[in-house]
Structure 1
Amino acid sequence: MEKPLLVTDFLDRARRHYGDREAVVATTGERYSYDELGDRADRFAAALQDRGIEKGDRVAVLDPNTHYHLEAAYGSFQTGAIHTPLNYRLTPDDFEYILTDAEVDAVYADYEYAEKIEGVRDDVPTTTFVTNDADGVDGEWEDFDAVVADAGADYDRPEMSEGDDVTINYTSGTTGDPKGVVRTHRTETLHAYLIALHQELRDDDVYLWTLPMFHVNGWGHLYAVTGMGATHVCTRGIDAAEIFETVAAEDVSYLCGAPTVLNLLSEYYGSEDGDLTTTGDAPVRIATAGSAPPEATIRTVEDEFGWYLKHVYGATETGPLITTSDARRLFDADDDARFSVKKRQGLGYLGTDVRVVDEDGADVPRDDETIGEVVVRGNQVMDRYWNKPEATEEAFTDRREGYYHTGDLATVDEHGMLAIQDRKKDIIISGGENISSIELEDTLYEHDAVSQVAVIPAPSEEWGETPKAFVVPSNGDPENPPVSTEDLTAFCESRLAGYKVVHRFEFVDELPTTATGKIQKYELREEEWEDEEGMVGQG
C-alpha cells in the first residue's frame, strides 16, 4: 500500500508518542513539551485560517533559531500553506523582491528583524504581519503570543498530496536575483528520513540550533529532530562561549556548524585558560558543510573537544545533503589518517545518485586526479525553481540530462568518495594551469598565524590570473599581523608546486560570510576584478 509522505507527519508522530516529553528549550527560558508545541502550532494554524490563509498560500518566516520559527512553520504546514523562510541577513530590498516574487500572503518576523519588512510593506502583496514583540516594533503588527492565545486550537487541515509544494527556499542570489527553490512534501520527507539515518538521530538526542533554521529548513532538521521526538535547543545566533556552555548545561549530543563556526569555536577554546568543558554527560557529534574544513580544524574538534565530526555536502537545490564522509569502514578511528578521509565530501546518501562528469557528461575515472562537475539525481532534489522554467531546465540538462548540476568541481577516488576541488567560479586558471583555491587555503590554514583565509583568482598581466589570499591574522590585527607576506609565500613554496605558490596577500579583519558562516568569495572577486573586462575563468 501507499501512504502519502507529508511533513505534517513529523509533529504528529512526536505528539502521539512523546507528548509529555520536552520538545523545545526556548531562548527566553521557557521549556515546551511536544503537546505544548503542537498546541501552539494548532493555534497559529487556526489564526492563519482566520486571516484568510488557504492551501497553497505562501507564509514567510523571518526569525533566528527560536521556538516561534518552529511554531510558525508547523502552523503553516498544517493549513497546507507553503513555508517560505527568509535569510535574516538580507536587506529590505532583498525582502521586497522575495515577498513579491513568491506573492507572500502572510509574514511572521522576529522583533529584531521586523523593521526590515516594515520598510517595504507598502510595496509587497503581503497583508498579514505578525511579530513576537508588537510593542517593540514600529508599524501595525500583531503579536504572536496574543494571536495564538486568542485563537482556538481547532483548524481545518486540508487534504494534501505528497506532490504538493510545501516550501520555497531562496538562494543567495550571488549571480542575479535570488531563485526560489521549490520543494514538495515528498522531497522534504525523504530528505528528513535520510538525515535521521545518516546523522544517526535518536529520540534521546538534544540538538543545538547553531545552523539557521531558514537555511534549507535547517538542513532538514526542522523535520527530522521533531519526527524522532528529540529535543530542540534554540539560539539567537553564534557565540562560542554560549555554545560551549549550552552543550555542557543541556547535555547537547548533536549540532551543526560550517567550517568558519568550527574555527570560531577552536579559537575560543585555544584562548581560554585552563580546562574548558566541551561536553555534558552525552557524547557529542557535529556535522559540518559548506567547504572542506582544514585537517587542523578536524583534529582540534575530535582530539581536543572530544566531539565526533561528520562532514556532509550538498546545495539548496539538493535538499541539501547528498553525501557524507562518515564511512567508518574506510578509516581507523584511532589513526590520524582519518582526517584526510573526513575532509572529503564523501559517499552519496542512500538512494542518491551522485556522479562527477566531464564536459560530455561521461563519468570521470576514479583516479582522484581527473576533475569533473558534480551532478546529482535523488528523491531529495528540488522540484523546480519558482516561476523560472528556463533556469530549471538549464540546471537539469547541461552536461547530463535529468541530473541537477551543482557547479562544483571534484575528483573521485577508488571508493567513489568525492573531493571537491573548487567551484567553477573559484578555480584559478594561471598560465593555462588549473589551480584549486581550496588546496591553497588548506595549505595556509596550517600556518599558526592564519586564522581564516579565502583564496581567489586575481588579474595578472603575465599569467592572466594568479592566486590571491585574503587572510584574517591570528591576532585579529590586519595592520600588525604576526607574519609577513614574504613568510607566507615561503611557507607555500615549501609545500606546493611552484605554479601554485601564492605571492599576493591582503590582511583583513574579517571575511564576508553568509548566515551559515560560508565565505562569500564572489564579493572578494567582484572587488578584485571591478576594473577588468573579464576573468580568465569567468568567475
Structure 2
Amino acid sequence: MHKPLLVTEFLDRARRHYGDQEGIVATTGERYTYEEFGDRVDRFSTVLQARGIEKGDRVAVLDPNTHYHLEAAYGSMQIGAVHTPLNYRLTPDDFEYILSNARVSAIYADAEYADRIETVRDDVPTEVFITNDAENVEGDWEDFDTLLDETEPDVTRPEMSEDEVITINYTSGTTGDPKGVMRTHRTETLHAYLVAIHQEIQDDDVYLWTLPMFHVNGWGHIFAAVGMGTTQICTRGVDAEWIFDTVIEEDVSYMCAAPTVLNMLINYYDGEMPTKGDNEVRAATAGAAPPEATIRAVEEDFGWDLIHVYGATETGPLITTSNTPKLLASTDEPYAMKKKQGLGYLGTEVRVVDEDGNDVAPDGNTIGEIVVRGNQVMEGYWEKPDATEEAFNDRIEGYYHMGDLATIDEHGMISIQDRKKDIIISGGENISSIELEDTLFDHPEVADVAVIPSPSEEWGETPKAFVVPESGDPDDPGVTKEELTEFTRERLASYKTVRRFEFVTDLPTTATGKIQKYELREKEWADEDSMVGQG
C-alpha cells in the first residue's frame, strides 16, 4: 500500500488524537489546545487564499519562536504554499536577496523585525505583508490576529504529492549568496520520523523552543513535536535564568541547545540550584562537538541526558547521533564517545571516503570526507543546478558531500577533524569566510585578507582575519582592528561581525598564488585537540 507522505498529516494527527490537549504555550500568555491551534491555522490558510496565494507560491516567515511562526508555517503548507523561514539575524540586504531569489509572494514578519522588510519592500516581488502588531509597524501591514478574528475557516486544500517542494531553507554556503535548500513533503516527513525516534519524542513530552524555528524548520521539530502531540513552550529569546525557571515551572522534559547555550547554562549554574521540574530532562545539541567537560557538567551537575546529533541544512539536517546506550555502556570513556558525531540514523547511509571515493579504513585515524545518502536529504538547491550537481557528485556519485573531514571507527561512529569548505560555524550559525573576505576587501586599507575559524570558548569558533595592510607595514597598517570590526558590523549580520584580526606582511600561498588557509589554521589551532570548534 502506498500512502503519500504529506507534512499536513502532522497537524491532522495532533488534532485527531490530542485536540483537547494543551499543545502550544504562547509567548503572549495564551495556551492553545491542538484543536484551537488548528483552528487558527485554518483561518490563516483562508486569509492567504483570499489574497491569491496558491499552491507552489512561496510564503516567508520572519519570526522568533512564537506561536505565530508555527501558525504561519502550517497555514502556508496546508494550501500547498512553500514555507520559507528567514533567519531574523540577517540584514535588510540579505532579506532583499532571499525574497527576490525565491520570488516570495507573502510574508509574515514579527513586529520586532518588520522594519527590516519595510526597508526593502519596494525592491522585492512580495505583495502580502502581515505582522502581529500592525499598529506599531510603519508601512502598510495587515494584523495577524485581526485577520483571524475577521475570517471564518474555509480553507480549500489542493491535491498534493509527496515529491513536491514544501519548504525552502536558505543556508550560508561557501560563497556570499545564500542557497535555497529545497525539501519535499517526503523528505520533511521522513526526517521528522527519524527525529521522533532518535530523540525519543513522546506525547507526554514538554518541549522548550530554545532552538530557532528557522534553523531547518527547528531541526524538524515543527513537524515531529506537533505530530506526536507534544506540548510546546514558545519563546522570544532565551537567557540562562529564564531557561532554568521555565524548565522547573513548565516541567520541561526536552529541548535542543547549541553548545553555546549549554555553556551559558553552565556558567550561570551555582552548583546548588534546581535544574528540573517533575520530569527528567534531555537535551539535543548540534552545531559543534561539545567538549567532554560540557557533557559531564550537563549530565552530572544538571542531571540531564545529553544527545549529540549532527547534520547540515541540506540533509534535513540530522543524519547521525551519539545516543547509543549499548555502545556507551561498553566503553570506559562514555563522554569521549558522546562527543563524537556518532552513528547514522535509521535508513541513512553515512560513509567517510578518500579523494577517489573509496571508503577509508574504519580505524578511527584515517581522515576522509563525510558523504551521505538518506530519505531526509534535500531535493536540491533552488534554481542552482550546477551547485546541486557538485554537491552530490564531487568524490562519489549520488551522495551529498558534507564538506567535513572525519574519521570513522569499527562501529561506524564518525568524528569530525577538520572542514573542507570555507565555512565557520560560530554558535551554530554558518558563516562564509569568503563573504567576510569580500567585505573586508572593500576597505581601502586592506590589500589582501584571509579569514579562518579561530577557537572560541564561548562560540566554539569565531572568524579571524589575517590582513595584509595597504601600507605593507603590519606595525603601521593605517587602520585599527576596532575600525575593521566596525566596518564588518555595519555591513553584515551581527553574528558575522569579525572581532579578531592579525596584521601580516603576506599570506602563505602556493606556487600558483592560492592562499594556503590550512597553514593559517594549523598555527591558529595548534593548542587544540582538533581544527573544528568545540562548543
- TM-score normalized by structure 1? 0.82
- Report the Cα distance in structure 2 between the residues aligned to 1:177 and 1:306, rounded to whole angstroms: 42
Pair 74,413 (structure 1): closer, same or farther in 2 beyond 3 Å: same
Inter-CA distance 30–528: structure 2 relative to 1 (3 Å threshold): farther
Residue equivalent to 1:344: 340
1:193 partner SS: helix
Displacement after TM superposition at 1:426 (Å) = 6.9
Question: Secondary structure of the equivalent of 2:261?
Answer: helix
Q: 2:174·2:422 contact (CA, 8 Å) conserved in 1?
A: no
- Structure 2 Cα separation of the partners of residues 378 and 31 of structure 1: 37
Q: 1:423 Cα deviation (Å)?
A: 1.3
Q: Do the aligned partners of residues 174 and 400 (structure 1) sit closer, same or farther apart at CA in structure 2, a change above 3 Å counting? A: closer
Deviation at 1:152, TM superposition (A): 1.2
Aligned CA distance change for structure 1 residues 104 and 427 (closer, same or farther; 3 Å): closer
Amino acid at match of 1:379: N
For each residue in 1:252-289, what CA deviation from the matched residue of structure 2 results, as whole angstroms up to 9, or x when unmatched?
A: 000001111111111111xx4x6222101000000000
Instruction: Tell me the residue number matched to 1:417.
Output: 413
Aligned partner of residue 329 in structure 2, secondary structure = coil
Number of the residue aligned with 2:55:
55
Q: Give unpaired runs (5+ residues) of structure 2.
A: 425-451, 469-484, 508-512, 522-535
- Tell me the distance in 2 between the aligned counterparts of 1:232 and 1:322: 24
Distance between the aligned counterparts of 2:196 and 2:82, measured in 1?
23
2:86 paired residue number: 86
Deviates more, 1:229-238 or 1:8-17: 229-238
Instruction: Verify: 1:165 aligned to 2:165, yes or no.
Output: yes
The question of 1:302 aligning with 2:299 is answered yes
For 1:309-458, list aligned pairs within 5 A: 309-332=306-329, 337-425=333-421, 454=461
Residue 482 of structure 1 corresponds to none
Structure 2 counterparts to residues 177-188 of structure 1, below 5 A:
177-188=177-188
CA distance in 2, matches of 1:222, 1:318: 16
1:257–1:288 contact (8 Å) kept in structure 2: yes
Which residue in the other structure is 2:448 paired with?
Answer: none
Secondary structure of residue in 2 paired with 1:331: helix
Match of 2:474 in 1: none
Which of 287, 290, 314 aligns to 2:287? It is: 290
Is contact 2:362-2:407 (8 Å) kept?
yes
Distance 2:69 2:173 in 1: 23
Report the Cα offset of residue 175 of structure 1: 2.1
Residue number in structure 2 paired with 1:238 = 238
CA-CA distance at 1:425 after TM superposition: 4.3
- Would you say the 8 A contact 1:108–1:130 is kept in 2? yes
Worse overlay, 527-536 or 194-203? 527-536
Structure-2 residue corresponding to 1:277: 274
1:110-121 residue pairs with structure 2 within 5 A? 110-121=110-121
2:214 counterpart letter in structure 1: F
What corresponds to 2:12 in structure 1? 12
Q: Give yes or no for contact 2:465–2:501 (8 Å, CA) kept in 1.
A: no
Letter in 2 for 1:72: A
Distance in 2 of aligned mates of 1:23 and 1:531: 58
Match of 1:477?
none
The one-letter code sitting in structure 1 at the alignment partner of 2:396 is R
Q: CA 1:305 to 1:396, structure 2 compared with 1: closer, same or farther past 3 Å?
A: same
SS in 1 for 2:310: strand
Deviation at 1:163, TM superposition (A): 0.6
1:69 matched to which residue of 2? Answer: 69
Instruction: Give secondary structure in 2 for the equivalent of 1:182.
Output: strand
Counterparts in 2 of 1:456 and 1:96: CA distance versus 1, 3 Å? closer
What secondary structure sits across from 1:79 in the alignment?
Answer: coil
Alignment of structure 1 residues 167-206 onto 2, 5 Å: 167-173=167-173, 175-206=175-206
- Indicate if the aligned counterparts of 2:174 and 2:421 stay in contact, CA closer than 8 A: no
Partner of 1:535: 515
Give TM-score, length-normalised by structure 2.
Answer: 0.82
Change (3 A) 1:245 1:397: same
Give the CA deviation at 1:459.
6.4
Give a deviation string over 1:298-332, Cα, whole Å, max 9, x none.
01100001100000000000000000001111113
Q: Which sections of structure 1, spanning at least 5 residues, go unmatched? A: 429-436, 462-507
Tell whether the 8 Å contact from 1:458 to 1:529 is kept in structure 2 after alignment.
Answer: no
Report the count of equivalent residues: 467
Is contact 2:263–2:294 with CA below 8 Å preserved after alignment?
A: yes
Q: Which amino acid aligns with 1:424?
A: K
Aligned mates of 1:91, 1:98 — CA distance in 2: 11
1:98, distance to aligned residue in structure 2 (A)? 0.2
Question: Quick one: which amino acid aligns to residue 289 of structure 2?
Answer: A
Q: How many angstroms does 1:172 deviate by? A: 2.2
CA distance in 2, matches of 1:32, 1:535: 55
Asked if the contact 1:171/1:316 (under 8 Å) is kept, the reply is: yes
Whole-angstrom distance in 2 between the partners of 1:83 and 1:529:
46
| 2:24/2:67 contact within 8 Å kept | yes
Q: 1:356 touches 1:364 (CA, 8 Å); kept in 2? A: yes
Distance 2:504 2:9 in 1: 50
**Alignment deviations for residues 207-240 of structure 1 (CA, whole Å, 9 cap, x no partner):** 0000000100000000000000011100011211
Cα distance in 2, alignment partners of residues 78 and 119 from structure 1: 30
Q: Give the secondary structure class of the aligned counterpart of 1:183.
A: strand
Aligned residue in 2 for 1:219: 219
| Bigger shift: residues 168-177 or 109-118 | 168-177
The question of whether the paired residues in 1 share the 8 Å contact of 2:174 and 2:423 is answered with no
| CA–CA separation in structure 2 for the residues paired with 1:401 and 1:360 | 11
The structure-2 alpha-carbon separation of the partners of 1:103 and 1:246, relative to structure 1 and needing over 3 Å to count, comes to same
* 1:531 Cα deviation after fit: 6.7
Match of 2:528?
Answer: none
Secondary structure of 1:402's counterpart equals: coil
The 8 Å contact of residues 426 and 456 in structure 1, kept in 2 or not, is answered as no
Q: Give % identity.
A: 68
CA distance in 2, matches of 1:186, 1:46: 25
CA change 1:527–1:238 in 2 (3 A) is farther
Partner amino acid, structure 2, of 1:148: L
* Paired letter, 1:536: Q
Hey, what's the Cα distance between the residues in 2 that align with 1:382 and 1:526? 36
> C-alpha distance in 1, partners of 2:460/2:389?
35
Verify the 8 A CA contact 2:316 2:377 in the aligned structure 1: yes
What is the DSSP-based 3-state SS (H/G/I as helix, E as strand, rest coil) of the residue aligned with 1:262? helix
| RMSD of aligned alpha carbons | 2.8
- The equivalent residue for 1:35 is 35
Letter of the aligned partner of 2:344 in structure 1?
G
Alignment CA distance shift 1:534-1:224 (3 Å): same
Show the counterpart of 2:441: none
Deviations 1:163-196, CA, capped at 9 Å, x for gaps:
1110000002452200000000000000000000
* Change in CA separation of 1:402 and 1:530 when aligned onto 2, cut-off 3 Å: farther
**Could you say if the C-alpha distance between residues 169 and 320 of structure 1 is closer, same or farther in structure 2, counting changes exceeding 3 Å?**
same
Letter in 2 for 1:317: E
Tell whether 2:251 aligns with 1:254: no
What is the DSSP-based 3-state SS (H/G/I as helix, E as strand, rest coil) of the residue aligned with 2:78? helix
